[in-house]
Structure 1
Amino acid sequence: MSSIGQSILMALAVTLNKFASSNVQSVQRNKATATVSSPIGRRDLLLSTVAPAAAAAAAVDSRTELLKRYLKKSEENKEKNDKERLESYYKRNYKDYFEFVEGSVKNKNELSEAEKGIVEWLKRNK
């Protein structure tokens, strides 16, 4: 059974239990005080159980649509987000090291490709 079906059944069970216990108290009170109260009819009980279930189903549908929109947007921006995440990682974890390497290569005439990349990265991110 799907989680939506389980949620609906749970809502029905809770609602039925709530009304059943209130009706029992009403009957016991009526016998003791000999007054008449209006009991909840079957139609009212059915409507009160269907309305929360329908609202729960509508809420689940709206959440599903929202998640689908977020997934679509995420897929569209995946490449950009991955690049930003990688740059953020470098800034947090390697900036000190790159600056240390930059200090040791300032007086060098011949730079390796990695050293050139580090110097360029530091120029872009200062």
Structure 2
Amino acid sequence: MSSIGQNILMALALTLNQFASSNVQSVQRNKPKTPPTTATTSASSDIQRRGLLLSAAVAAAVDSRTELLKRYLKKSEENKEKNDKERLESFYKRNYKDYFEFVEGSLKNKDELSEAEKGIIEWLKRNK
């Protein structure tokens, strides 16, 4: 089980222990002990059952989240190259489009273009 699941179960156990200890009534020493009634036994077993069901539900939720995260990580690793390329293109579009358009104005009347200038014009054609 993952450490997150363990932490959640520990917090749940602590909460249940605090709840159970707050329901304990003090016993006076002068009175003889009486056997527990069925109502008390039933109530404590009901709390135990609820705690068990709740902890099982929490464990299932943690496991399903873990599986979901594993699927997302696998999918992002498979698409890493594509996502990196899209991120880089988006960066260029946001940060260089204005500059490239400015440079394009000075290149229109030029006869010979360098490789970089040709690249700028091609990039602008692709991204208009």
Q: Is the 8 A contact 1:98 1:122 kept in 2?
A: yes
Q: Is the 8 A contact 1:8 1:56 kept in 2?
A: yes
Select the structure with the greater relative contact order (CA < 8 A; seq sep ≥ 6): 2
Give the match for residue 3 of structure 1. Answer: 4
Residue of structure 1 aligned with 2:76, choices 74, 94, 100: 74
Give the match for residue 91 of structure 2. Answer: 89
State whether structure 2 residue 63 is matched by structure 1 residue 45. no
Pairs aligned (count)? 117
- For 2:83 and 2:98, the matched residues in 1 are separated by 24
Q: Is the 8 A contact 1:23 1:39 kept in 2?
A: no
* Superposed displacement of residue 47, structure 1: 1.8
- For 1:83 and 1:40, the matched residues in 2 are separated by 65
- For 1:79 and 1:6, the matched residues in 2 are separated by 35
- For 1:113 and 1:13, the matched residues in 2 are separated by 69
Residue of structure 2 aligned with 1:64, choices 52, 63, 66: 66
- For 1:61 and 1:87, the matched residues in 2 are separated by 37
> Unaligned regions of 5+ residues in structure 2, if any?
28-36
Question: Against the structure 1 CA distance between its residues 40 and 123, is the aligned structure 2 distance closer, same or farther, given a 3 Å change threshold?
Answer: farther
- For 2:45 and 2:38, the matched residues in 1 are separated by 17
Question: 4+ residue stretches of structure 1 with deviation over 4 A?
Answer: none
Work out the percentage of aligned pairs sharing the same amino acid.
Answer: 62
**3-state secondary structure, aligned to 2:111:** coil
> Unaligned regions of 5+ residues in structure 1, if any?
28-35
Deviations 1:52-104 (A, max 9, x none): 21111111110111111111111121111111111110110000000011011
| TM-score, with structure 1 as normaliser | 0.80
